[in-house]
A and B are shown apart, each in its own frame.
Chain A
Amino acid sequence: MKKKKSRLYGKKEKATFGKTFVKYFKDFGTAVAKGDKAVKLSLILMGFGFFARKQLMKGIIISVVEILYILLLVFWAVPNLADFGTLGTVQLEMVFDPATGKNIVNDYDNSFLILISSITALFTLFVFILWYIHNIKEVYKLQLREEQGKPINNFIEELQTYIGSNFHRTLLTLPTLGVILMNVLPLFVLIAVAFTNYDKDHMPPNSLLSWVGFENFRTLFSSGGMSITFGYAFGKIVSWTFVWAVVATFTCFIGGIALAVLINSQGVIYPKMWRTFFMITIAVPQFVTLLLMRNFFRDDGIVNTLATNAGLLDFFKNIGLVKPNMSYIPFLSGGSVGWAKFMIILINIWVGVPYQMLIATGVLMNAPQDQIESARIDGASKWQIFWKIIVPYILVVQGPALITDFVRNINNFNVIYLLTQDLYITSDMKMANSSAKEVDLLVTWLFRLTNEDYNYKMASVIGIIVFIICIAFTLVSYSRLMKGNKEEDYQL
């Protein structure tokens, strides 16, 4: 028991990445150098080491998998990888035969399939090498066990370890496979697309793709590459993305805490009822709420009708918030950038605050009562308690969640797209010339560029840039927020 604890908390010596890396190959070297004949033969047929230690079944399975993989490598991976450099050379050609009603197709190269297959092949090769190295070490361990006279598992016992000491492998196999197939491989393919000429003029299978190196990145950062005002639009959109992410995150955060404190405070009758009201807004799917809001705040929507009838329109005209020639308040239509940005943030508060309220309620319930109690005895006012104890406590507990929210807001597609698509028309011709709007985030712009122009290569490039921005920000914030391990101050 004591030993386990020391593993969790006591180990001060940090295993750096570099050290682990070196050790990984050193162990492999030792195994190869010190291994006996069986271990060395395992370098060729991976099952040998097991055959020699009477683990016949395991040896066979491993050898069969090895042979299968090598066959796969020769007959599938190698032909694909051979085309990887050019992404195929044979153009699709079709001849129609009216009598049979069939198209006669030549043996063409599908660049995109080649790309996907090659990346999958490289990935499997990488996995195979890891497994190969691991196997040699495993076989060497068996040799050591035999030399030390320790018992060696038979096949049944070996299987039993998968519901015993190796149970984590049994559990994690499926999720790991899922993550690799659904996330990791597509990610690599998409990254690769950023280095090809995949766009509306080069659509597989009809035409071939080819590598263009860093050309797309150069296009992105040289002004006048992708559209005549690309640099202008990119700058504007990046800055608004950041303003939006900061404002959206903090308004929801502060609003949620305020609401939670308000509902929790003494003197509020039926707190549960109020909380339930806000919960109902969560129960309605977000996109329904957003589409409703969008319709309420249209130029000819109900809010505008009400505002006109109530004289609000004239009031706004008088104080200069609405241009005199407008017969409506341009809530979301882009007649005025300020209005649209303000409304989007306001609507986002409506959509986001209930979630934050829920979290804040939970956090507040666990607030350090002893500290609050002693502060009260010392004569601190409610206001002081709130600012000096509760707020720092919430910030520490919610810090990581705040960062996640921030990154999510950078990519907050739903709110922006559903509220402004087809409704907001920019007045800035320079933005329009890049298919951009002032209220666009990088992701919504990216979506429009791909979806309406099929510009997959540039979409990938922008995707990579957004990824780098998010990564950089997350790393910096985490290291800042987590420095000094403030969490411990509030434990116990």
Chain B
Amino acid sequence: MKKRVIALLMAMTMCTAALAGCDSGKNNGGSEGGASGTTADPLQSLIDATSGTVKLTVWASDVTEAQDHTQELIDAFKAQYSSVNFDITLGAESESTAKDTVLTDITAAADVYSFADDQITELVNAGALQAVSIGYTYDVKAANAAGAVDAATVNGQLYAYPMTADNTYYLFYDKSVFSEDDVKSLDTMVTKAKAAGKKIGFEFGNAWYLYGWFAGAGLDAYLTDSGANTCNWNTGAGPDVAKAIMDYCAEGTVANITDDGSAVTGVKEGTYAAVVNGIWNSSALQEEWGANFGAAKLPEFTAGGQTYQMNSYFSCKLVGVNPHSENVGWAMVLAEYLTNEDAQKSRFEKVGWGPSNSNAAASPEVQASADIAAISEQTKFAQPQRIGGNFWDPAATLGKNLSEGTVSDIQGMLDEAVAGITAP
């Protein structure tokens, strides 16, 4: 009999345990919110409202220097708010793939993560970004360059903290082949390069770069509110631009490069005297060209008898806060800390990334960089990268076919590409 009683007791304990474990697919939301004093300083009231350990996870770029720099900032952050008990973990996640990892399971993603701004629309749609409705330590909108703030804004609402403003492409060239005036026009460059027996490298098989040609001629390719792209590359000057690319490539001096890696390899082998690339390859190219290293905005090109300034995509690295975080407030304070003026200055020194913060960008150290000068020139002819997934493959194929000169019916090819790009 005793046995039975014990067994019954056990059964009951198990029942309660089992019941406690099930929440029937519902997430009981809410937190201890509510009783908050209306103190003037939100940061102070946040500190007052905090009890226990604040656990945060941060995902920063997997580049070693960036990881080290972020860790330094986190340590300094802990020291600054020493009254609060923090448990901050740093993970590595490339900005270019952050969206994929975050969207796999938003609730399991980091509290604070950095990402490239072209991912912002999808992240906002999936509810993976906390709206920046308050500045705890500084005014994000006022402190950063307008272009960077735009890049962090969706439907008029700021959703992330700008961290860098250097993600674009511009021209790297060898000063022993081209003068500063030469690089203003692609036609001049072709003449000079030909005389020197060198080539000019451009990644035509990559939609990101190809965009610059068509955008230069005033043509559009962007994501509309309906969720589909709009693109008019097959109208107006479009066929002329396509013909121009084919002609430049057929002539032989302007050549297609496979990817970022081959840009550097090509320069090292002495094939290329100029390549269109981004700041990530700058140090490798500086090493190769030494004192002859030059950086400038993209050149002008001729299409259908007209001269156009080549455009580019411009994007920023942003820091976002996950709304599913347990400590959204502290995550926001940390995100502010990781992107404030001092952090951006030290990031430029230690990691080499160009700041989006206006004061940081105006500092003499930053201004002295040839890359930053070229970027700030190029951003006058740059558009934020707002384009849906259907853009990449058709545009890459278009660029590749044009560079290989295999297109007989340019208008037909453009029509077909545009149909693919704009498909819902």
Contact = CB atoms under 8 A, between A and B. Distances in A.
A108 B26 contact: yes
Interface in B11-39: 11, 14-15, 18-19, 22, 24-33, 36-39
Contact of B27 (A60, A110, A452, A454): A110
Nearest to A226: B423
A444 to B, nearest CB: 14
Nearest to B259: A422
A113 B25 contact: yes
A193 B10 CA distance: 39
B127 A429 contact: no
Interface stretch (A90-98, A163-171, A261-269, A369-377): A90-98
A430 B33 CA distance: 54
A398 interface: no
A92 B406 contact: no
A94 B323 contact: yes
B44 to A, nearest CB: 10
A293 interface: no
A288 interface: no
A72 B11 CA distance: 13
A352 interface: no
Nearest to A75: B19
B36 A100 contact: yes
B381 to A, nearest CB: 26
Nearest to A207: B127
A335 B29 contact: no
B227 interface: yes
Interface string A67-105: 110011001100110010000100010101111111111
Contacts of B237: none
B22 A76 contact: yes
Given A99-B38, A101-B332, A435-B393, A203 B404 contact: no
B329 interface: yes
B18 A96 contact: no
A98 B42 CA distance: 7
B37 A99 contact: yes
B46 A201 contact: no
Given A117-B24, A205-B106, A435-B393, A425 B205 contact: yes
Q: Max chain B CB contacts within 10 Å: which of A60, A117, A207?
A: A60
A420 interface: no
Nearest to B131: A96
Contact of B46 (A94, A100, A110, A300): A100
Contacts of B398: 429, 432
Contacts of A137: none
A433 interface: yes
A298 B400 contact: no
Contacts of A325: 250, 404-405
Contacts of B50: 101
B30 A104 contact: yes
B258 to A, nearest CB: 5
A114 interface: yes
Interface stretch (B215-223, B370-378, B412-420): B412-420
* Candidate in B15, B100, B258 with the most chain A CB atoms within 10 angstroms: B258
A83 B25 contact: yes
B328 A96 contact: yes
A433 B405 contact: no
A56 B393 CA distance: 69
B126 A203 contact: yes
Interface string A38-77: 0000000000000000001100100010011001100110
B33 A323 contact: no
B397 A101 contact: no
A227 B392 CA distance: 14
Contacts of A206: 106, 125-128
Contact of B397 (A97, A426, A452): A426
Contacts of A101: 46, 49-50, 327-330, 332-333
B394 A300 contact: no
Interface string A440-476: 0000000000011110000000000000000000000
B126 to A, nearest CB: 4
Given A205-B107, A433-B394, A451-B100, A100 B389 contact: no
Interface stretch (A144-152, A248-256, A326-334, A400-408): A326-334
Contact of A334 (B18, B400, B420): B400
Contact of A427 (B122, B130, B401): B401
B262 interface: yes
A103 B328 CA distance: 7
A423 interface: yes
Q: Which of A99, A105, A422 counts the most chain B CB atoms within 10 A? A: A99
Contacts of B7: 60, 64
A96 B27 contact: no
Contact of B24 (A76, A104, A300): A76
A427 B204 CA distance: 13
B27 A105 contact: yes
B155 interface: no
B25 A99 contact: no
Contacts of A76: 22, 24
Contacts of A107: 26-30
A334 B30 CA distance: 54
Contacts of B53: none
Contact of A80 (B25, B250, B255, B400): B25
B106 A227 contact: no
A432 B36 CA distance: 55
Contact of B258 (A102, A423, A426): A423
A163 B244 CA distance: 81
A60 B8 CA distance: 9
Given A67-B11, A96-B133, A229-B420, A427 B400 contact: yes
Of residues A117, A227, A429, which shows the largest number of chain B Cβ atoms within 10 Å of its Cβ?
A: A429
A100 B24 contact: no
Contact of B329 (A79, A100, A300): A100
B146 to A, nearest CB: 25
A431 B405 CA distance: 19
A150 B257 CA distance: 85
Nearest to A204: B106
A338 to B, nearest CB: 15
A68 B15 contact: yes
Contacts of B405: 325
B332 A299 contact: no
A323 B255 CA distance: 16
A101, A227, A435 pick with most chain B CB within 10 angstroms? A101
Given A79-B24, A102-B31, A203 B103 contact: yes
A102 B29 CA distance: 11
A423 B417 CA distance: 20
A109 B33 contact: no
Contact of B134 (A98, A113, A423, A431): A98
A433 B46 contact: no
Nearest to A200: B122
Contacts of B186: none
B258 A333 contact: yes
B394 A432 contact: yes
Interface string A172-216: 000000000000000000000000000011010111000000000
B404 A432 contact: no
B346 interface: no
B417 A429 contact: yes
A33 interface: no
A340 to B, nearest CB: 13
Top 7 A-B pairs, shortest CB-CB distance:
A101-B329, A105-B29, A206-B127, A433-B420, A99-B36, A432-B397, A76-B22
29 contacts: A64-B7, A64-B14, A67-B15, A68-B11, A71-B15, A79-B26, A80-B25, A96-B328, A98-B42, A99-B37, A99-B46, A101-B327, A107-B27, A107-B29, A107-B30, A113-B25, A118-B25, A200-B126, A201-B227, A203-B126, A227-B420, A326-B404, A327-B255, A333-B258, A426-B393, A427-B400, A432-B397, A433-B393, A433-B419
Given A427-B404, A433-B416, 7 more contacts: A96-B130, A99-B36, A103-B31, A206-B127, A227-B390, A425-B396, A454-B103
